[in-house]
Structure 1
């Protein structure tokens, strides 16, 4: 059986493909290449350039390959952009996911792993790690668009022979430990990516969006997870469903947080380079502090993080940035 990976040419999707291939899985990829790169795809993966809203293309893919599972990454992920373009996010993340889910059900696909987000929680009421049963109060159209897709998956599973795993990501960072992929999008907004670019002279510094939050140092706090650990969680989720495990929702994080200033300090230390840091106005939609309670992933997926060290995450990010420069990949 094969696994269809949507958005497989993107940052997390490409890491997932390599993890699946390392596990001897057959994979198929669909990606419209709006933010991904065809060079990031493993050569073994049949690639279809197109949109997940294209029912004709989806029908061709499902008819041409013996697909039992979908791992769905395709979508837009920038919180401030979602605030400025809410209808685009509801189309690209929600409406198109509905089309994909329908095509998968019609093709007899039984297993579906969905790339969701901690943004569905909004800002928790206290600083304790947030669990899956916490109130769902997204503060941006991005978070709302993902929550709507979660609801569609739940309702679909109640009506069909269909099992899902929803993985709510916290802050994904780092690059493949074997150097095969990394965050490569120009103009990316991920903090560690931005700070690494500044450390290597690709940016003139880092903007910190607000330093007056009610946190220890005034900056937002996030739970950062290495992308290889995240890909492994997806692989564990797929295997669990194939062995008869039911539908679940699981957080993907490490259970501890780092502030924006913590991350900047780590990048400066690991790189050995200084760079300007500017305090600017807050961004709309940014939660104050969000830290995962990953107990469900630990217990239900039997997932054990291997790379839960901020310095290591930063080092792999810096190595990938240097690789991009050497290869002139963007």
Structure 2
């Protein structure tokens, strides 16, 4: 039996590439994205798509009422460092408050496997002149990185409460496109 994987932010750059790979590997994929920065044309046609704000518990719950989810990959959130400095409220609301709302719904529906899209920015300058390792201490230097680290810590405690298994990915520089040009970075002002 194929597993059902939910990808929040699945119309975004990392989310959409991951959706394609999961589908190619035989998983059923459900994408939840509000399309505020994602692009519907990036979502693989084989995935089931819901235009929904995952930070709204009532709206997001409707998706889980319809779908049995075995695991969730959480890619939704705000990602532009310079914008986070100009508008830290927006980043805390989306990346911490929004994640909190998403996790509350997943806990309520007993989704017990979580993968979180974080960032290597949590290391700050601690890997500026040397490679990062599992022992490198986080030291965020902007609101974006700080909110992603807060999200990691939130997941740890929520996972403890709901007995969830979780994995956190701290991406460094992500780049590239599908060889057939079916997917890639599609934003007006890439960062």
TM band (smaller chain): over 0.9
* 2:141 is aligned with 1:136: no
| CA apart distance, 1:186 | 0.8
TM (norm. structure 1) is 0.56
| CA apart distance, 1:30 | 0.8
SS at match of 1:158: helix
Distance change >3 Å, CA 147–CA 128, structure 1 → 2: same
* 2:104 is aligned with 1:107: no
In the alignment, the residues of structure 2 paired with residue 160 and residue 92 of structure 1 have an alpha-carbon distance, to the nearest angstrom, of 22
The answer (yes or no) to whether the contact 2:126–2:138 under 8 Å persists in 1 is no
Return the index of the structure with the highest Cα Rg: 1
Task: Give the RMSD, CA atoms, in angstroms.
Answer: 1.2
TM (norm. structure 2) is 0.95
* 2:30 is aligned with 1:28: yes
Q: Which residue number corresponds to residue 186 of structure 1?
A: 188
In the alignment, the residues of structure 1 paired with residue 152 and residue 105 of structure 2 have an alpha-carbon distance, to the nearest angstrom, of 17
Superposition map of 1:1-330 within 5 A: 1-124=3-126, 127-189=129-191
Any idea what the Cα deviations from partners look like across 1:299-327, whole Å, max 9, x if unmatched? xxxxxxxxxxxxxxxxxxxxxxxxxxxxx
Distance change >3 Å, CA 134–CA 66, structure 1 → 2: same
SS at match of 1:12: helix
* Residue ranges of structure 1 left out of the alignment (5+ in a row): 190-330
The answer (yes or no) to whether the contact 2:52–2:60 under 8 Å persists in 1 is no
SS at match of 1:119: helix
The answer (yes or no) to whether the contact 2:121–2:140 under 8 Å persists in 1 is yes
In the alignment, the residues of structure 1 paired with residue 127 and residue 42 of structure 2 have an alpha-carbon distance, to the nearest angstrom, of 40
In the alignment, the residues of structure 2 paired with residue 126 and residue 112 of structure 1 have an alpha-carbon distance, to the nearest angstrom, of 29
The answer (yes or no) to whether the contact 2:5–2:72 under 8 Å persists in 1 is yes
SS at match of 1:147: helix
The answer (yes or no) to whether the contact 2:123–2:140 under 8 Å persists in 1 is yes
